[in-house]
Amino acid sequence: MTRLLVALFSLSFLFACGGGDDTGGGGGDEGPKGGTLTLAAVLPISGPNAAVGNEASDAVKMAVEEWAPKFAEKGWTLKVKVEDDASDPKQAMSAAYAVSGDPTTFGVVAHYNSGCFLPASEVYHSAGTMAISPATTNVDITLKGYPEIARVTPHDGVQGELTADFVKNHLSLAKLAVIHDRTQYGQGLAEVFRDHGGTIGLEILSFDGIQVGDKDFKALLTKIREDKPEAIYFGGLYDEAGFLVKQMRELGMESVFISDDGSYGQDFFDVGGSATEGSILSFPGTPIDKLEPAQAFLAGFQSKYGRPVQNYGPYAYDAANILLTSAMGAVDAGADSKGMRAAVVQGARAIDHSGALGQTKFDDKGDTLNQRYSFYKATDGKFEYIATFSQGE
Amino acid sequence: MKTTAEKVQLALGIGLIPIAVALAVAAIAMLLNKPEAFAQHLVNGLTLGGLFALIALGYTMVYGIVELINFAHGEVFMLGSFLGLIAVQVLFGWDITNIWIVLPVATVISMIGCAAVGVSLDSIAYKPLRRNPTWGAVGAAAVSFVGLTMVLRAGMEGQMSLGRVGGAVILIAFAWAAFALDERNPSPPRKTPRINALLSAIGMSILLQNLVRIAVGSDTQTFPQMDSFTGLPATSFTMPVGAGGATIEVLYIEVFTIASAVLLMVLLDQLVNRTNLGKGMRAISQDPEAAMMLGIPVNRVITMTFVIGSALAAAAGILHGLKYGGVKFIDGFIIGLKAFIAAVLGGIGNIRGAMLGGFVLGLSETIVVATMEYCWLAIGRLTGSPDTWPQAEFFDYKDVIAFLILVVVLTFRPWGLLGTPEVDKV
């Protein structure tokens, strides 16, 4: 009993110390006006997604340089701090702790990978730091409804609905068979497609699951062939998508093959070969050369860094700008460095930002209302752009 | 007086009769009403079954002789696919694309490579459990895996580089050295718990998978398809089915797969039943000690078993690559597991059983599932309200159905379809 009490005491002592440190650090060095503000970026600077991460962090740096003079006028020094998560959830966690532990951090442009942002969002939430992701699409990230978490990319749930609309309105197809890979991602997407397709008048002939890692889908396809579908929608990843489309053609099926961003990539062609010709795939966002409001940013990036923007630069640039605009609003409202984080969270969630991606507003979960998906047709081993559609804009 | 087990068997047997009758009727009805679908499922099932059977032979031969479930056998199959791919690419690089030259050459190369891998596998993972290890042999086998890595590592573009040739030489030479060093090992056989060999096998399976993942990468590698070969007029031909003028497209690769599976099985069957080596194998599977006393070179025969099993897996690997168009480091896992089940279904240790088991499993996943669905829908029509009849997604559960068949077979014949009850080795 005594031991337990001692343990409890020492624990509470530890907590008290921890709490004390935080307030001491925050309150000590800053007056009510002026001081240092840091915009953090936690992105994959090394590892498999290093190319994307470097472009995104350069875009963040560019935004900070543009804003720094305006903050200087009001007596604040604006800084940028880039941390590497290497696309690794463990490293993402420690980077999240590092930037949140810095009392001058008012916001984070956070993570490229859903797998990193999902655990790290807990850290930002408990530290009260606004974190906006430029790239993650997993539906679960915003489901917890933390006010500190938001993203400027569309999420996977929208994809199924937009694809169903596209199939009906632009491909003018009516009879479909739906296949999924029984994963959270693939089956979830296929269910959205099926349910939304049903409400807009698509005829869903069948709904079947396959096993990831399996290669022989001929039994299932032979059955589906009997129904003579005009198209087959597949929710899943590139390997199974490639084998499916190949075996469809081997069985003499001429149905259009339609799939998702999980199938979008070179591997789809590597596996499916010439059978992929004419397949339709969806991918989040707008291709950057088609993004009207982004042209100024693209030109600025090119002249500053001497290389063109490839992919997520505009998203990171907008995420940074939303945070910086909110911080400026907080400064104008007279916030001090202690209240800065809370003020930025409030400002960012209420923002109506006109940026490189167009108009960005967040819904009550933190998802952008600017939800765009583009559709591509597989042609000669390349994805040929067809059109972009948005929802809720 | 019947035991409980016998009563359960009897009840199950009586319960199964109407199901079996319904399925048989449905199969005939399907054959008459939908000859195209029926024939297509049959072709699919036979192709799949041929692949399962070729791999199952490796499991069953090794088990029959050393009572070991070589779980790394699926990985040998995957390596066979990779080695075959490299050989095909090298030949393509030399502008040799005639299928009648490329395929036999690639198959032989892949078979030799896999045989070396099989021998090394035995030396490194299983022999040290059967008797006191010869450390030189274990070391040589390890070096041969380095050679294998060099072969795979030299890029998948298929140039004939020095590293690749050197790797192949190291692989084969050191596998041979491992075998030769162990031949002189005088220590008598020893009994180790069977679980040790099983763990050793699973460990080798993980090792080989990751060796390939690191050497080649984790992406699917494209396997040349039938249309990139010359020597065949087309990739498929039209086959009439039924009386109504219905036809199906049959791919040449499907014919190849079934034909080469059957051919290799006949050859193996002759080898086991007609040659001295086969006689040795059968003797060892009955009683290894007595075989040794009668002067049968037990070690050599065991090594030959690994060689033959691995070569068959290599052939299956190439056919698999040609059929599906891609190969990946993880490919040996699922198909290896299914082939193992095919071996159990047919009666593990029995060679003809493995062949039968492979085809039964392949057909279970295709035509039996299709017949079940047809039967279910027919019952729906008989009830008079087919629209409200619940949809049953039989094809979602093709693996479950195939395994249910396995359970039913093993309930009535625990020793498998062609196994013999007295060889109770499990």
Number of separate domains in chain B: 1
Q: Does residue B254 belong to any structural domain of this protein?
A: yes
Q: Which residue has better confidence, A34 or A376?
A: A376
Can you give the pTM of this predicted structure? 0.79
Of B44, B225, B330, the CB nearest to A222: B44
Interchain pair B249, A252: CB under 8 A: yes
Interchain pair B324, A250: CB under 8 A: no
Q: Distance between CA atoms of B175 and B119, rounded to whole angstroms?
A: 6
Average pLDDT over residues A4-17: 49
- The answer for residues whose C-beta is within 8 angstroms of residue A19's C-beta and 6 or more apart is none
Asked whether residue A22 carries a pLDDT value surpassing 60, the answer given is: no
Interchain pair A250, B328: CB under 8 A: no
Residues of A in contact with B40 (CB under 8 A): 218, 222, 225, 251
Interchain pair A223, B328: CB under 8 A: no
Q: Does residue A235 belong to any structural domain of this protein?
A: yes
Q: Distance between CA atoms of B102 and A309, rounded to whole angstroms?
A: 45
Which residue range forms the structural domain that includes residue B376? 34-412
- The answer for residues whose C-beta is within 8 angstroms of residue B180's C-beta and 6 or more apart is none
Does any CB of chain B come closer than 8 Å to the CB of residue A227?
A: no
Q: Distance between CA atoms of A217 and A240, rounded to whole angstroms?
A: 9
Within this chain, do residues A127 and A27 fall inside the same structural domain, yes or no? Answer: yes
Closest CA to A119 of A138, A101, A147: A138
Q: Distance between CA atoms of B311 and B304, rounded to whole angstroms?
A: 10
Helix (H, G, I), strand (E, B) or coil at A180: strand
Within this chain, do residues A305 and A253 fall inside the same structural domain, yes or no? Answer: no
Chain A residue closest in CA terms to B235:
A250
Within this chain, do residues A32 and A105 fall inside the same structural domain, yes or no? Answer: yes
Does any CB of chain B come closer than 8 Å to the CB of residue A214?
A: yes
pLDDT at B422: 59
Of A214, A222, A272, the CB nearest to B41: A222
Within this chain, do residues A98 and A197 fall inside the same structural domain, yes or no? Answer: no
Of A214, A222, A250, the CB nearest to B251: A250
Q: Does residue B19 belong to any structural domain of this protein?
A: no
Within this chain, do residues A271 and A144 fall inside the same structural domain, yes or no? Answer: no
Q: Which amino acid is residue B259, in one-letter code?
A: A
Interchain pair A219, B330: CB under 8 A: no
Chain A residue closest in CA terms to B325:
A271
Average pLDDT over residues A361-389: 89
Interchain pair A219, B395: CB under 8 A: yes
Residues of A in contact with B258 (CB under 8 A): none
Q: Measure B426 CA to nearest chain A CA, in Å.
A: 29
Q: Distance between CA atoms of B306 and B66, rounded to whole angstroms?
A: 10
Q: Distance between CA atoms of A271 and A142, rounded to whole angstroms?
A: 34
Residues of A in contact with B34 (CB under 8 A): 226
Of A220, A239, A250, the CB nearest to B220: A239
Q: Which amino acid is residue B83, in one-letter code?
A: L
Q: Does residue B5 belong to any structural domain of this protein?
A: no
| Residue A91 CB neighbour total at 10 angstroms | 19
Pair A384, A278: CB distance under 8 Å: no
Chain B residue closest in CA terms to A268:
B220
Closest CA to A83 of A71, A75, A74, A92: A92
pLDDT at B164: 85
Interface of B with A in 236-275 (CB under 8 A): 236, 249, 251
Q: Read out DSSP for A37-105?
A: EEEEEEE-SSSTTHHHHHHHHHHHHHHHHHHHHHHHHTTEEEEEEEEE-TT-HHHHHHHHHHHHHSTTE
Interchain pair A208, B395: CB under 8 A: yes
Angle A174-A175-A181 (CA atoms, 0-180°, nearest 5)? 120
| Residue A47 CB neighbour total at 10 angstroms | 15
| Residue A69 CB neighbour total at 10 angstroms | 9
Percentage of residues of chain A with pLDDT beyond 70: 91
Angle A96-A35-A15 (CA atoms, 0-180°, nearest 5)? 45
Interchain pair B331, A215: CB under 8 A: yes
Q: Does residue B2 belong to any structural domain of this protein?
A: no
Interchain pair B395, A270: CB under 8 A: no
| Residue A215 CB neighbour total at 10 angstroms | 27
Interchain pair B220, A250: CB under 8 A: no
Within this chain, do residues A139 and A161 fall inside the same structural domain, yes or no? Answer: no
Residue labelled with tokens 């009840």: B11
Q: Does residue A368 belong to any structural domain of this protein?
A: no
Within this chain, do residues A246 and A173 fall inside the same structural domain, yes or no? Answer: yes
Residues of B in contact with A272 (CB under 8 A): 325
Q: Distance between CA atoms of A250 and A230, rounded to whole angstroms?
A: 16
Strand ranges inside chain A, DSSP E: 35-43, 76-84, 105-110, 130-133, 149-151, 175-180, 203-209, 231-235, 256-259, 280-284, 352-355, 358-361, 371-379, 382-391
Within this chain, do residues A251 and A385 fall inside the same structural domain, yes or no? Answer: yes
Q: Does residue B27 belong to any structural domain of this protein?
A: no
Q: Measure A163 CA to nearest chain B CA, in Å.
A: 24
ipTM of the complex, rounded to two decimals:
0.85
Pair B281, B349: CB distance under 8 Å: no
Of A250, A252, A271, the CB nearest to B326: A271
Asked whether residue A51 carries a pLDDT value surpassing 70, the answer given is: yes
Asked whether residue A214 carries a pLDDT value surpassing 60, the answer given is: yes
Q: Does residue A251 belong to any structural domain of this protein?
A: yes
pLDDT at A25: 38
Which residue range forms the structural domain that includes residue A343? 3-154+291-362
pLDDT at A392: 55
Q: Does residue B296 belong to any structural domain of this protein?
A: yes
Within this chain, do residues A251 and A276 fall inside the same structural domain, yes or no? Answer: yes
DSSP symbol at A174: -
Within this chain, do residues A31 and A171 fall inside the same structural domain, yes or no? Answer: no
Chain A residue closest in CA terms to B219:
A267
Q: Does residue B16 belong to any structural domain of this protein?
A: no
pLDDT at B27: 85
Check which CATH number belongs to the domain holding A110 and give it.
Answer: 3.40.50.2300
Average pLDDT over residues A273-296: 86
Number of separate domains in chain A: 2
Interchain pair B333, A213: CB under 8 A: yes
Q: Measure A89 CA to nearest chain B CA, in Å.
A: 20
For chain B, 426 residues long, the average pLDDT of each consecutive 10-residue run is: 74 80 84 85 92 93 87 94 92 88 93 94 89 86 91 72 85 90 77 85 92 85 86 82 78 90 91 91 87 87 92 94 89 90 89 91 90 85 78 82 85 83 52
Interchain pair A250, B236: CB under 8 A: yes
Helix (H, G, I), strand (E, B) or coil at B419: coil
Q: Distance between CA atoms of B324 and B298, rounded to whole angstroms?
A: 39
Pair A123, A93: CB distance under 8 Å: yes
Within this chain, do residues A164 and A231 fall inside the same structural domain, yes or no? Answer: yes
Average pLDDT over residues A290-304: 89
Within this chain, do residues A127 and A245 fall inside the same structural domain, yes or no? Answer: no
Q: Does residue B391 belong to any structural domain of this protein?
A: yes
Does any CB of chain A come closer than 8 Å to the CB of residue B31?
A: no
Residues of B in contact with A239 (CB under 8 A): 220, 326, 328
Interchain pair B325, A218: CB under 8 A: no
Interchain pair B393, A239: CB under 8 A: no
